[in-house]
Amino acid sequence: EPEVTQTPSHQVTQMGQEVILRCVPISNHLYFYWYRQILGQKVEFLVSFYNNEISEKSEIFDDQFSVERPDGSNFTLKIRSTKLEDSAMYFCAKVTAREAFFGQGTRLTVV
Amino acid sequence: RKEVEQDPGPFNVPEGATVAFNCTYSNSASQSFFWYRQDCRKEPKLLMSVYSSGNEDGRFTAQLNRASQYISLLIRDSKLSDSATYLCVSALGQNFVFGPGTRLSVLP
């Protein structure tokens, strides 16, 4: 059973629309990360979320992005006013000092 | 966040070949190192951690040279199922930095 489950697996949205990507951890872990991988490119860090607060964010994570833990278990990544260049795989990961466990990812396609 | 660089690839090798991947990292403070495997359009999955003394897991051998900030992965007797992209990762605490990956195709 995966450590982290993400929904949806694939989302197609029109440019300018808002999307919400969801991540559900199996265990009650405090430290979660969001990564992005544009097709054919490397896995890029977006943001880390610790104990209901943003711990660190990259330059990619601008005002268009936000993260929340709305109900104490699920984690969400919201992208406001999507752009074509937001098309990518978005991975949620449970991270420890020994390993990063990735969810299956959400493939976001902005058209 | 500092960078991790890898052989650009792709590597196309026949079944049974031995293949070596190279990786360098720029952050000398990095504490942990890993090799991840990523299949096409799938999530990265941990292949093995890399220790200073070098470590082996079956057909896979990983080496770390802290002085040169260099990491390697050797795959012996490659199988068709080894075809994937191999990601080199350096970490400082829980801050993981991924290399761009090297794609391997093992051919029958």
Q: Chain A: residue nearest B33 by CA? A: A98
Other CB atoms closer than 10 Å to residue A38's CB: what's the count?
A: 13
Q: What are the tens digits of pLDDT across the range B21-42? A: 999 999 999 989 999 999 998 9
**A interface mutation test: which of B5, B94, B103 has the most A CBs within 10 A?**
B94
CB atoms within 10 A of CB B6: 22
Give the number of other Cβ atoms within 10 Å of residue B51's Cβ.
12
CB < 8 Å from A in window 21-80 of B: 32, 34, 41-46, 49
Report d(CA B63, CA B44) in Å as an integer.
Answer: 20
Q: How far from B99 is each of A13, A20, A39, B27, B43, CA to CA, in Å?
A: 29, 27, 14, 13, 15
CA dihedral A81, A84, A88, A94 (to 10 degrees): -20
A41 interfaces chain B, CB cutoff of 8 Å: yes
Q: Name the average pLDDT for chain B.
A: 94
In this complex, which of A42, A95, A104 lies closest to B43 when CB atoms are compared? Answer: A104
User: Distance from A12 to chain B by nearest Cα, in Å?
Assistant: 16
What is the full per-residue pLDDT of chain A (111 aa) written as tens digits?
667 899 999 999 999 999 999 998 766 666 789 999 999 899 999 999 887 789 999 999 999 999 988 777 788 999 999 999 999 999 999 888 788 889 999 999 999
Helix (H, G, I), strand (E, B) or coil at B14: strand
How many Å apart are CA A79 and CA B30, to the nearest integer? 31
Please answer yes or no on whether B96 and A56 come within 8 Å at the CB atom: no
Q: Considering only alpha carbons, which residue of chain A is nearest residue B37?
A: A102
